[in-house]
Amino acid sequence: AQRVTQPEKLLSVFKGAPVELKCNYSYSGSPELFWYVQYSRQRLQLLLRHISRESIKGFTADLNKGETSFHLKKPFAQEEDSAMYYCALRGGGSQGNLIFGKGTKLSVKP
Amino acid sequence: KAGVTQTPRYLIKTRGQQVTLSCSPISGHRSVSWYQQTPGQGLQFLFEYFSETQRNKGNFPGRFSGRQFSNSRSEMNVSTLELGDSALYLCASSRTGVTNEQFFGPGTRLTVL
């Protein structure tokens, strides 16, 4: 079964501390993984995707097929990073199907 | 350019009624996907339309249906509403599908009484 698990509902860190948001997936084929973010009162938006291997707003995520993980990391958290983060997997079949994790709320304290 | 728009933004219905939600994608986007978001289940994929054809479907009962028009605007319909259908319904558009970036609308908040 295709599944995305984000084990932490809430993650609280202090400004300047490193942050790691965990994501594990279950998928039989070659996965395509994404991180979406939703800031307060804003729309859900794409943060980054593994195929791009990019760093957005200081965040990076590496696909680890052996551990079936796609953790999101940032070395120094900022208060403006406080938001809801969703890990997502492109489902099988045709395009357009995203399987989301339940999300992790990141709170960065001053 | 204008983002994805959804109408109405809020809706209150009673059990047994039906409802139609509308989504206008970003100009030039041909793929529209619909998601249901609830506190318990999170974000769940409903279906995706591309060039007026349903290309993929999630695991929802047949009471949930949709369609896409030639201008790429999409509607979803829920018949015989149940209390559990209360949710935020999000649509997202992209040029060809999820491998292109999906842009989400603000959602329609449906409350079923």
Contacts of B55 in chain A (CB under 8 A): 94-96
Percent of chain A at pLDDT exceeding 90: 70
Q: What is the nearest CA distance from A9 to chain B, expressed in angstroms?
A: 12
Is the pLDDT assigned to residue A21 strictly greater than 90?
A: yes
Q: What is the nearest CA distance from A13 to chain B, expressed in angstroms?
A: 24
Mean pLDDT of A72-95: 88
How much is the mean pLDDT over chain B?
A: 93
**A22-50 pLDDT tens trace:** 999 998 877 889 999 999 999 999 999 88
**Residue A87: what pLDDT?**
96
Is the pLDDT assigned to residue A4 strictly greater than 60?
A: yes
8 Å CB contact between A35 and A47? yes
**Which of B44, B98, B103 minimises the CB distance to A96?**
B98
User: Which of A97, A102, A104 to mutate against chain B (most B CBs within 10 Å)?
Assistant: A97
- Inform me whether the C-beta atom of residue A56 falls under 8 Å from chain B C-beta atoms: no
**Residue B97: what pLDDT?**
65
**Residue B102: what pLDDT?**
86
- Inform me whether the C-beta atom of residue B43 falls under 8 Å from chain A C-beta atoms: yes
Is the pLDDT assigned to residue A6 strictly greater than 60?
A: yes
Classify residue A53 as left (phi > 0), alpha (psi -120 to 50) or beta: left
Classify residue B40 as left (phi > 0), alpha (psi -120 to 50) or beta: alpha
- Inform me whether the C-beta atom of residue B52 falls under 8 Å from chain A C-beta atoms: no
Contacts of A104 in chain B (CB under 8 A): none
Q: Lowest-pLDDT range, A69-78, A84-93, B85-94?
A: A84-93
**B95-113 pLDDT tens trace:** 876 567 889 999 999 999 9
What is the spatial distance between Cα A20 and Cα A25, in angstroms, rounded to a whole number? 16
Give the residue with greater pLDDT, A95 vs B59.
B59
Tell me whether residue B61 is exposed, middle or buried, using C-beta atoms within 10 angstroms of its C-beta: 0 to 12, 13 to 18, 19 or more.
exposed
Chains A & B: contacts with CB separation below 8 Å: 64
Six-digit token pair at A94? 């045709």
